[in-house]
Structure 1
Amino acid sequence: MSSKRTYDAAKDTDEGHACANSVNQNDSSSLHIAIIGSGSAAFACAIKAAESGASVTLIEKAEHVGGTCVNVGCVPSKILIRATQLMQHQRANPFDGITNMQPEIQRSLLSQQINTRVDELREAKYQSILDRNPAITLIRGSACFKDARTLFIDKPDGSQQTLNPDKIMVATGSTPTIPDIEGLNDTPFWTSTKAIFYEAVPQSLAVIGSSAVAVEIAQAYARLGSKVTILARHTLLYSEDSLLGEELTECFKEEGIRVLEYTQAHKVSYNDNLFTLITDDHTLEVQQLLIATGRRANTSELDLQAAGVETDKSGTILVNDQLQSSVKHIYAAGDCTTIPQFVYVAAAAGTKAALNMTGTPAKLDLTTMPAVIFTDPQIATVGLTEKQAEAKGYDVTSRVLAMENVPRALANFNTQGFIKLVAETTSGKLLGAQILAHEGGEIVQSAALAIANSMTVEELASMLFPYLTMVEALKLCAQTFNKDIKNLSCCAG
């Protein structure tokens, strides 16, 4: 697990207390589970727990159920990204005989369409589940711990409700982290939510941040027509394999996106509808400013200390691979915990937590967790990088295949990017894949399956892949461990 601390055996802060609603560990028919939050982790947990016979109470203080992903994160951002990709295709396509044209952009209509699809998916995937499942009840309000066994809920009408559930899961998600920059809080800066739904296009945009959210929105606004500058404290995608950030930076520069590496803003001001950013080497004036420097756990209002739940210094809940906190009947999942901040990981964690709470032992295994950053070309990774593998004691070898060697990329007249495979030297076992490619997110799952099944690069190279697909790049890269693919004909195994 990628947690800063895990527990072999979570402690119970109330060992002598027999819960009034205690049940047999293997009988969930009278088990009451309370879940704070209503996002992907919360709903996955609620559904699985209800299937096992438990009664579930969801507690949500926000106006809408569904959490970050459907409301202000994954869904609306990917709609925006796809729309701007089509705009870019109109401006610049690689084919002779097709005339490029400047797209007409009505940002307000696009924002309305995004909102409509968000409403539809929230209704279909969240609200309708509440309406159909009598075992799941929603309470509107803000929850906090009185002690390890008791929750207080402050309701919108000013009343308070007390719950004493058998088990509790915290799934309160996260919010954007705002850096400590002089003057920043006195300005109308954007976070990602504002940027996704904004109904106009600024002439210029500065983005402070260099991870997934920063680069996705930066490119989207560049394609909408803004002049975009990214301020990266280190390099783009600093925590990934360095080649990914280097190549993405070059792709961005080709699109006119300015990337300032090793640059931090020390002071920000806002006058006459312009932001002024002062760094060590630059003074920038832009019409809009986006802060995308990461996210922090939403736990400050829960009074976790009263329950004895341990967190790291930022308030992130420490969990083990069964999603238990330091208090054995209190679980946590999603962005408020030390597990990776991906919605599908949150959902998987919620399901595993429900199994554990209802008497079926289950662990969250993240060894083959794929990840995608939806830039164009896309970043897709799974398994270990070279540095990570070496740190774990592996003797590793790797190969990098430029996409100019992939027939589908050549046929598309778009050869940006590469595929990198990392393998154990002695066995040839595939350990990791790092991909920068158009539709890279559609390629990476094949690599994840190969790693999950302990395949060697030779086995991967000998598999049949359909010709003129992007995923064939995996086979070609695997072949480079033992062959010079320039000496092979098309489709040669």
Structure 2
Amino acid sequence: MNTYDVAVIGSGPGGYVAAIRCAQLGMKTAIIEKYNTLGGTCLNVGCIPSKALLDSSHHYDDAVKHFEEHGIDIPGEVKVNLEKMITRKQAVVDQTTGGINFLMKKNNIDVYQGLGSFKDATHISIAGENATEIEAKHTIIATGSKPSNLPFINLDKERIITSTEALKLKEIPKHLIVIGGGVIGLELGQVYRRLGAEVTIVEYADRIIPTMDAGLSKELNKVFKKAKFKINASHQVTSVERVGDEVIVKANNKKGEEVEFKGDYCLVSVGRRPYTDGLNAEAAGVKLDERGRVEINEHLQTSASNIYAIGDVVKGAMLAHKAEEEGVFVAETLAGQKPHINYNLIPGVVYTWPEVASVGKTEEQLKADGIAYKAGSFPMRALGRSRASMDIDGFVKILADKTTDEVLGVHMIGARAADMIAEGVVAMEYRASAEDISRMSHAHPTYTEAIKEAALAATADRALHI
């Protein structure tokens, strides 16, 4: 029987990063993955493939709507080749997951293909083509999450689908109904809207992206309506039925009236649930909470002292980069180091266009906590860079403590917001004030000038360019 210092169950961003860091720190490490490719949901059916389709559809959208204005004439009709688009997406996935294989070999990490389940706290059975058993002094559970569903919805994975199926459709829907106005639903909804589908969003909360700052939701709602999305907030879905090639969705609106939506596809994107199926956690003394998540303490340690858990399978935001931070945290803890994670500074991003990004507290949270704050905003349309690229939707908002001027939250919607939010994270990590940001030189012309201007607005209501 092979023995290891650390075994990692699950090879998503949390798992494979944890394995690499353990190996870097001198631990003999194994990683166990039940699927044929490494990388987990993120690399195979999540972050990476969805971004590939978002980029491809963005190019098409630009060609149809904006190339002529840029002085680019295309003879003939611009057409979508969905099959080729999906093939390119898969090539990106294959290249990325292949890169994880390379990293495992480079770091001398043993890879086991099969379903890992605990025999006890130190022994793991691996079921599969090459069934075996290994022993590990420490184990890191990184088994991730799966798409959630509503109890009355029968996912046939043909017309009533999850994000997994939406990434490999063989045709562009005529009318795609999206249940859920969160990150996944909006991103995939935008892909198919750009390609010509009619898209209807049905959201239970009173606004789309309900967990983010309300100002971001309002601006994205405006952009989506301009793109002819049909957005139905405050709607509780009561039934989803397939009749032939048609899907009928019924919901109650905020007045309690029943409304009906008909389409040829329905994407169910109502969040994700922790995935522990087949783990046999109880055999190792690992407790799960009432929501199926692995219970952990502040050190990410489970009820079994030699077993840790990270990522989507534990409490907190279900984000790949949060899982990565936790993977490194556990590895360094096992090595006797003193790592830290500030969960308030884990940024959230929606990769629509314009992109939406946020870090720290929202205005709603600050009000609920009774914290006196000041806010400064700056519209993207006031930037020369935005006008040059025709990306004028959106704004940057900075929230700062009213007394100390320390930055408490940064919220933005606009071109490249996903990249720009890192400036807010750095500022808040070092407890910068809004004035600190306002006095930093920002290259001109860039989108990040909006951050400086928002900081100026927050500091003394003195933005320069509005």
Q: Is the pair's TM-score, using the shorter chain for normalization, greater than 0.5?
A: yes
Instruction: Kindly indicate whether residue 442 of structure 2 is the aligned counterpart of residue 465 of structure 1.
Output: yes
In the alignment, which residue of structure 1 is the partner of 2:96? 121
Instruction: Kindly indicate whether residue 293 of structure 2 is the aligned counterpart of residue 316 of structure 1.
Output: yes
Contact kept in structure 2, 1:65 and 1:122, CA below 8 Å: yes
Q: Report the alpha carbon displacement of residue 346 of structure 1 after superposing the two structures with TM.
A: 1.3
* SS of 1:372 mapped into structure 2: strand
Relative to 1, partners in 2 of residues 1:402 and 1:382: Cα closer, same or farther, differing over 3 Å?
same
In the alignment, which residue of structure 2 is the partner of 1:181? 152
* SS of 1:164 mapped into structure 2: strand
Q: Which amino acid is the alignment partner of residue 67 of structure 1?
A: G
Q: Report the alpha carbon displacement of residue 105 of structure 1 after superposing the two structures with TM.
A: 0.4
Deviations 1:413-433 (A, max 9, x none): 432111111100001111111
In the alignment, which residue of structure 2 is the partner of 1:44? 17
Instruction: Kindly indicate whether residue 169 of structure 2 is the aligned counterpart of residue 193 of structure 1.
Output: no
Instruction: Kindly indicate whether residue 237 of structure 2 is the aligned counterpart of residue 258 of structure 1.
Output: no
In the alignment, which residue of structure 1 is the partner of 2:255? none
Q: Report the alpha carbon displacement of residue 191 of structure 1 after superposing the two structures with TM.
A: 0.9
Please list every run of 5 or more consecutive structure 1 residues that lacks an aligned counterpart in the other structure.
Answer: 1-19, 22-29
Relative to 1, partners in 2 of residues 1:489 and 1:232: Cα closer, same or farther, differing over 3 Å?
closer
Contact kept in structure 1, 2:377 and 2:458, CA below 8 Å: no
* SS of 1:460 mapped into structure 2: helix
Distance in 1 between the 2:199 and 2:187 partners? 12
Instruction: Kindly indicate whether residue 330 of structure 2 is the aligned counterpart of residue 389 of structure 1.
Output: no
Q: Which amino acid is the alignment partner of residue 83 of structure 1?
A: S
Relative to 1, partners in 2 of residues 1:338 and 1:256: Cα closer, same or farther, differing over 3 Å?
same
In the alignment, which residue of structure 1 is the partner of 2:241? 269
Distance in 1 between the 2:419 and 2:5 partners? 40
In the alignment, which residue of structure 1 is the partner of 2:302? 325
In the alignment, which residue of structure 2 is the partner of 1:217? 188
Q: How does 1:351-370 map to 2 (within 5 A)?
A: 351-370=328-347
- Which of 277, 297, 300 is residue 300 of structure 1 equivalent to? 277
Distance in 1 between the 2:377 and 2:68 partners? 27
Contact kept in structure 2, 1:94 and 1:414, CA below 8 Å: no
Distance in 2 between the 1:97 and 1:76 partners? 29
Relative to 1, partners in 2 of residues 1:184 and 1:50: Cα closer, same or farther, differing over 3 Å?
closer
Relative to 1, partners in 2 of residues 1:392 and 1:148: Cα closer, same or farther, differing over 3 Å?
farther
Contact kept in structure 2, 1:382 and 1:434, CA below 8 Å: yes
Q: Report the alpha carbon displacement of residue 164 of structure 1 after superposing the two structures with TM.
A: 2.9
- TM-score of the pair, normalised by structure 2: 0.92
In the alignment, which residue of structure 2 is the partner of 1:162? 133
In the alignment, which residue of structure 1 is the partner of 2:210? 238
Instruction: Kindly indicate whether residue 104 of structure 2 is the aligned counterpart of residue 130 of structure 1.
Output: yes
Distance in 1 between the 2:390 and 2:65 partners? 12
Relative to 1, partners in 2 of residues 1:327 and 1:398: Cα closer, same or farther, differing over 3 Å?
same
Distance in 2 between the 1:355 and 1:164 partners? 21
Q: Report the alpha carbon displacement of residue 296 of structure 1 after superposing the two structures with TM.
A: 0.8
Q: Report the alpha carbon displacement of residue 482 of structure 1 after superposing the two structures with TM.
A: 4.7
* SS of 2:411 mapped into structure 1: strand
Q: Report the alpha carbon displacement of residue 403 of structure 1 after superposing the two structures with TM.
A: 2.3
Could you tell which deviates more after superposition, 89-98 or 330-339? 89-98
Q: Report the alpha carbon displacement of residue 151 of structure 1 after superposing the two structures with TM.
A: 2.2
- Which of 317, 329, 349 is residue 340 of structure 1 equivalent to? 317
Relative to 1, partners in 2 of residues 1:194 and 1:97: Cα closer, same or farther, differing over 3 Å?
closer
Q: How does 1:38-77 map to 2 (within 5 A)?
A: 38-77=11-50
Q: Report the alpha carbon displacement of residue 388 of structure 1 after superposing the two structures with TM.
A: 2.4
Could you tell which deviates more after superposition, 249-258 or 392-401? 392-401
- Which of 398, 404, 412 is residue 421 of structure 1 equivalent to? 398
Q: Which amino acid is the alignment partner of residue 129 of structure 2?
A: P
Q: Report the alpha carbon displacement of residue 292 of structure 1 after superposing the two structures with TM.
A: 0.8
* SS of 1:42 mapped into structure 2: helix
Relative to 1, partners in 2 of residues 1:182 and 1:295: Cα closer, same or farther, differing over 3 Å?
closer
Contact kept in structure 2, 1:458 and 1:478, CA below 8 Å: yes
Please list every run of 5 or more consecutive structure 2 residues that lacks an aligned counterpart in the other structure.
Answer: 253-257
In the alignment, which residue of structure 2 is the partner of 1:171? 142
Could you tell which deviates more after superposition, 240-249 or 357-366? 357-366
Q: Report the alpha carbon displacement of residue 344 of structure 1 after superposing the two structures with TM.
A: 1.8
Contact kept in structure 2, 1:321 and 1:363, CA below 8 Å: no
Could you tell which deviates more after superposition, 170-179 or 455-464? 455-464
Distance in 2 between the 1:484 and 1:139 partners? 58
Contact kept in structure 1, 2:438 and 2:453, CA below 8 Å: yes
Instruction: Kindly indicate whether residue 387 of structure 2 is the aligned counterpart of residue 410 of structure 1.
Output: yes
* SS of 1:68 mapped into structure 2: helix
Q: Which amino acid is the alignment partner of residue 236 of structure 2?
A: Q
Distance in 1 between the 2:18 and 2:324 partners? 8
* SS of 2:119 mapped into structure 1: strand
Distance in 1 between the 2:295 and 2:370 partners? 26
Relative to 1, partners in 2 of residues 1:100 and 1:270: Cα closer, same or farther, differing over 3 Å?
farther
Instruction: Kindly indicate whether residue 372 of structure 2 is the aligned counterpart of residue 372 of structure 1.
Output: no
Contact kept in structure 2, 1:219 and 1:375, CA below 8 Å: yes
Q: Which amino acid is the alignment partner of residue 112 of structure 1?
A: T
How many residues align? The count is: 458
Contact kept in structure 2, 1:322 and 1:364, CA below 8 Å: no
In the alignment, which residue of structure 1 is the partner of 2:85? 110
Identity %: 27
In the alignment, which residue of structure 1 is the partner of 2:174? 203
Distance in 2 between the 1:111 and 1:94 partners? 23
* SS of 1:434 mapped into structure 2: strand
* SS of 2:458 mapped into structure 1: coil
* SS of 2:300 mapped into structure 1: coil
Deviations 1:177-212 (A, max 9, x none): 011235556974111111112232111100001111
* SS of 1:251 mapped into structure 2: helix
Q: Report the alpha carbon displacement of residue 92 of structure 1 after superposing the two structures with TM.
A: 1.8
